[in-house]
Amino acid sequence: MTEQGKINREGATPASLFERADAAFGLGPVRAVPKLPPVPEALRRTSAPQSPAQPPVEVAPVVAAPQPQPQAQVQPQAAPQPSEPAPQQPQQQTAVALQQPAAVAFCGPFAAIDRDHLRDGGLIVPEDPVTGLLEEFRIVKRELLADARASDTPLARRILVCSPHPGEGKTYCATNLAIALAAERGLEVLLVDADVVKPSVAQRLGIDVEQGLMDALADPAILPESLVIQTDIDGLFVLPAGTATSLDAEYLASARTGEVLDRLTMGAPNRILIFDTPPALAASPAAELAAHVGQALLVVRADETSRAALEDAQQLLSACGDIKLLLNAARYSPSGRRFGTYGPKGK
């Protein structure tokens, strides 16, 4: 299915950290972030990979393939046009700031996050001593933040976390990244569960949720900020996936998606949106959302993700002009998807 020729290998713009990771993994001109530490041998997956016929990723040069006019390519019909404020010119900052709409305040229900639940799930616990895991995600967030702040478009503050297949660590990385980012002083981080098929962000954080993204997309009368859960982790907010329907794909492809996301980000330069998504090769949301974000983090498992799958996923995400690779070295037990399994054994 994948042809190498489909991917534009020109136009990658490596950053320093990514270049170092590329060199370590022989990725060539890919933008990649360092691999995450693997889980212990006892938790390692024993069954064959999902696509045994495909060779493990050798992670040969795969290019981010930024496309200059992303939205027209992925959603020619919906063609959501972010209506966020125009980029500020340095000499006009004061005047433009006065014209900017005020940011909407997140005003959904409050949820306390059980730190033991985070710990048992192998997630970053804000108050705990610094761990290797936190250090890894600090490096990742620095790269993402640097690009978000360097860009003159608010789109760069929306970051999609995706991967070709299930179980490659999208939710794990999106959640840890959101927690790590929330520790930044003055930053508001909204973790959006866009995996409407198998939502798991709320479960992973141990919070009960009802309505969310899909409800706001389906009903224009619903203010999305009223569904954003405020947490007791300073700076961390969560927009659950919400109520699934048979029209989810159509809702995500509609112009309403752009409106909702604009509303959540407008006038808030210190707000970052992280989207957890379903597998790019299994469902359409990641490709749809790629047109609404400025950065995409493509999670790959260095031991299992095939190059063909990686290239297919890249192509599906090509509406996003900045795709970065995150090499997740973690392996998991198929029977250990419950978070408790990653408790004491996982440390």
Ligand X SMILES: Nc1ncnc2c1ncn2[C@@H]1O[C@H](COP(=O)(O)OP(=O)(O)O)[C@@H](O)[C@H]1O
Enumerate binding residues for ligand X (CB under 6 A): 36, 39, 122, 163, 166-172, 328, 330, 332, 337, 342
By beta carbon distance, the residue nearest ligand X is 330
- Give the one entry of ligand X, Mg ion, none that residue 71 binds, where binding means its C-beta sits below a cut-off of 5 to 8 angstroms depending on kind: none
SS3 readout for 254-268: CHHHHHHHHHHHCCC
Question: Would you tell me which residues interact with Mg ion (CB under 5 A)?
Answer: 170-171
- Give the one entry of ligand X, Mg ion, none that residue 169 binds, where binding means its C-beta sits below a cut-off of 5 to 8 angstroms depending on kind: ligand X
Question: How far, in Å, CA of 72 to CA of 339, rounded?
Answer: 40
- Give the one entry of ligand X, Mg ion, none that residue 154 binds, where binding means its C-beta sits below a cut-off of 5 to 8 angstroms depending on kind: none
Which CB atom, from 24 or from 255, has the smaller least distance to ligand X? 24
Of 240, 165, 248, nearest to 201 (Cα)? 240
As beta bridge partners, residue 239 has 192
- Give the one entry of ligand X, Mg ion, none that residue 166 binds, where binding means its C-beta sits below a cut-off of 5 to 8 angstroms depending on kind: ligand X
Is residue 55 within 8 Å of residue 307, measured between CB atoms?
yes
Which CB atom, from 43 or from 156, has the smaller least distance to ligand X? 43
3-state DSSP helix/strand/coil % of the chain, to nearest 5: 40, 15, 50
By beta carbon distance, the residue nearest Mg ion is 171
Which CB atom, from 163 or from 257, has the smaller least distance to ligand X? 163
Which CB atom, from 155 or from 309, has the smaller least distance to Mg ion? 309
Give the chain's radius of gyration (CA, Å): 19
Closest contact distance (angstroms) between CB of 170 and ligand X is: 3
Which CB atom, from 75 or from 175, has the smaller least distance to ligand X? 175
Question: How far, in Å, CA of 238 to CA of 244, rounded?
Answer: 17
Which CB atom, from 63 or from 202, has the smaller least distance to Mg ion? 202
- Give the one entry of Mg ion, ligand X, none that residue 18 binds, where binding means its C-beta sits below a cut-off of 5 to 8 angstroms depending on kind: none
- Give the one entry of Mg ion, ligand X, none that residue 176 binds, where binding means its C-beta sits below a cut-off of 5 to 8 angstroms depending on kind: none
Of 166, 175, 167, nearest to 201 (Cα)? 175
Is residue 296 within 8 Å of residue 45, measured between CB atoms?
no
Closest contact distance (angstroms) between CB of 327 and ligand X is: 10
Helix pair angle (16-25, 132-150), 10° resolution = 130
Closest contact distance (angstroms) between CB of 198 and ligand X is: 8
Closest contact distance (angstroms) between CB of 246 and ligand X is: 22
> At residue 144, what is the residue type?
L
Of 4, 16, 140, 139, nearest to 61 (Cα)? 4
Question: How far, in Å, CA of 176 to CA of 123, rounded?
Answer: 6
